[in-house]
Amino acid sequence: REYAVFDSETSHTLEEGWIYQWAFLLSGRYVYGRKPSEFIRLLSRIRDKYELNRDKEIIIYIHNAAYDLQYLKHYLYEYDDEMEVLATDAHSIITLTVEGFRFICSYRLSNLSLDLFSQTYAEKYLKASGAIDYSILRYQDEELTDTDWYYMFSDVASQHDAIGHYLE
């Protein structure tokens, strides 16, 4: 069965946090953006193209879903106000379902950090650990470096690679 992966990078001040870049990998195609609203538009396009619904969905793995989804939940709720969440507590999301898509936490599935998950199961791609400095404040409208994008794409590539072999 085909599956997708999603990852985002975030930045924050003491008052607020935001996604400043994201990447999505499905069927060997990378799609990327800077704002959550762009990702939601992508989901809508995929849903319409493949005629997805509650009975026909694409699985999207997110490593540490509770973290990434906290920045997306408002947008996902606007996409589908009948969103369903399965969690063991407030910060331990296992799955989140919206029309046409089921997000599954690959961290909860594997119980490994993405770095260790890729080292253990990926055959082709490894996470580019340490490539970016998380202490730098980044915004959605500022230019990102090649290293920033390399790090982003290595996350989704290594996650997709590792999940495929883990599920085997």
Burial (CB < 10 A; 0-12, 13-18, 19+), residue 122, is: buried
Q: Write the pLDDT tens digit of every residue in 102-139.
A: 999 999 999 999 999 999 998 898 788 777 888 899 99
| Per-residue burial over 127-163, b = 16 or more CB atoms within 10 Å of its CB, e = otherwise | bbbeebeeeeebebeeebeeebeebbbbbbbbbbbbb
- Residues 39-60, mean pLDDT to the nearest whole number: 97
The band of 89, judged by pLDDT with boundaries at 50, 70 and 90, is confident
